[in-house]
Every structure is written in structure tokens, then in C-alpha cells.
Amino acid sequence: MTMTNEDQTQNDEDFDYGCECAMTLLNEPTEDCLNDLMDQLDEDGMIATEVVYGLLATILMSMTSEDDGEEAH
């Protein structure tokens, strides 16, 4: 299976969306925020793998960057 530029663009957009979702949650780590986020993701039906990668990558980065005392934006 070959990747087209269109597929790669969609993957990048999905990954970025996952990053945005994670940043939203990290900025406001409340149950309400989590529920809103889950509702939002639920509306999309199946969650793209790249969205999950974006979420995980952002959360992992935030955990490791806290050691430096810098905000990752």
C-alpha cells in the first residue's frame, strides 16, 4: 500500500488534531473538559489512529518537559 500526498496530509491533520485535544486537556485537566473532549471525539465516529498518536505524543512531551520547567507550545 502506497501513501499518497492526500493520505499524508490527512494523517498530519489527524495528528495535529490529537495534539490540540491533548493541549486542551492539559491546560484544563478537569473531568468536564475530559467529558467534552470524549463527546467531541465520539461525534467523529471511529477515531483515526493518528489522532491517538497525537494525543499520546503531546501528553508524553508535556510529562518530560515539566522536568525542564518550560511550557511546551
User: Measured between alpha carbons, how far is residue 31 from residues 1, 9, 36 in Å?
Assistant: 40, 32, 9
One digit per residue, pLDDT tens: the chain, 73 residues? 677 899 999 999 999 999 999 999 999 999 999 999 889 888 877 888 999 999 999 999 998 876 655 554 5
pLDDT at position 2: 74
pLDDT at position 18: 92
Nearest to 15 by CA among 64, 53, 65, 47: 53
pLDDT at position 47: 86
Angstrom distance (rounded) from CA 21 to CA 7: 21
Q: Where are the domains of the chain?
A: 15-64
Angstrom distance (rounded) from CA 29 to CA 58: 14
